[in-house]
């Protein structure tokens, strides 16, 4: 049907208050977010090493960061979650 007019730009304009929760929800389930969360948690010293002075394997860091993220998801204002979201955006 060529009689219909094309949608205007107003359907693509969002208010910041509307878009932020949507983007945050989508970003928080991505692999990029998990990676950034691990880096932020390590930087905040929330992932202590079992043997100080020795490196821990990356798979072990990821596993411990995933456990921390499972708990942190219950607290949307958790500072490390907020920082990871900021880094992703």
Q: What is the pLDDT of residue 3?
A: 72
The predicted structure's pLDDT at residue 8 = 75
Three-class secondary structure of residue 60 per DSSP? helix
Other CB atoms within 10 Å distance of the CB of residue 19: 11
Rounded to two decimals, the pTM is: 0.75
C-alpha closest to that of 44 among 15, 79, 70, 72: 79
Give the model's pLDDT for residue 85: 92
How far apart CA 4 and CA 43 sit, in angstroms, is: 55
Q: What are the pLDDT tens digits along the chain (89 aa)?
A: 567 777 777 777 888 788 888 888 888 889 999 999 999 999 999 998 888 888 889 999 999 999 999 999 999 889 999 999 999 98
- Specify the pLDDT at position 59: 93
């Amino acid at each position: 049907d060529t009689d219909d007019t094309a949608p205007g730009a107003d359907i693509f304009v969002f208010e910041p208050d509307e878009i932020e929760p949507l983007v945050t929800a989508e970003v928080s389930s991505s692999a990029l977010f998990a990676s950034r969360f691990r880096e932020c948690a390590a930087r905040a010293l929330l992932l202590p090493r079992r043997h100080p002075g020795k490196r821990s394997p990356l798979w072990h860091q990821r596993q411990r960061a995933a456990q921390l993220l499972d708990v942190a998801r219950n607290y949307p204002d958790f500072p490390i979650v907020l920082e990871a979201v900021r880094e992703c955006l």
